[in-house]
Amino acid sequence: MHVYVWFFIFPNIEGYELGQLSREAYPPIVFFSCILVGIALTSSAYFTQDQIPNLKQPKERKSKNNLSRFFKGYC
């Protein structure tokens, strides 16, 4: 990603010695980063879904959680 940004998004262009100073250079890197993060999140969830049965199970609760019980401690 670093190489992509420095050579394709922030190249030296006319009027700017450094491409980082150009406002037009930022939307493509934001779009690329969003796509990359989305792919990473989706693939992480997909490839770890088989591990869910191996997770430690919570203990059984005697009472159910409800909204009135939540606010009872605060009022």
Angle (nearest 5°) at CA 67 between 63 and 70: 75
* CA pair distance 63, 75, nearest whole angstrom: 20
- Give the Å distances, CA to CA, from 3 to 7, 8, 33, 43: 6, 8, 13, 23
| Cα 73 versus chain centre, distance | 35
In tens, the pLDDT along 33-70 reads 899 999 999 999 999 999 999 989 888 877 777 777 77
Query: Which pLDDT belongs to residue 18?
Result: 63
Q: Tell me the Ramachandran region of residue 31: left when phi exceeds 0, alpha when psi lies from -120 to 50, beta otherwise.
A: alpha
Query: Which pLDDT belongs to residue 50?
Result: 93
Query: Which pLDDT belongs to residue 29?
Result: 78
> Where is pLDDT greater, at 15 or 69?
69
Query: Which pLDDT belongs to residue 24?
Result: 72
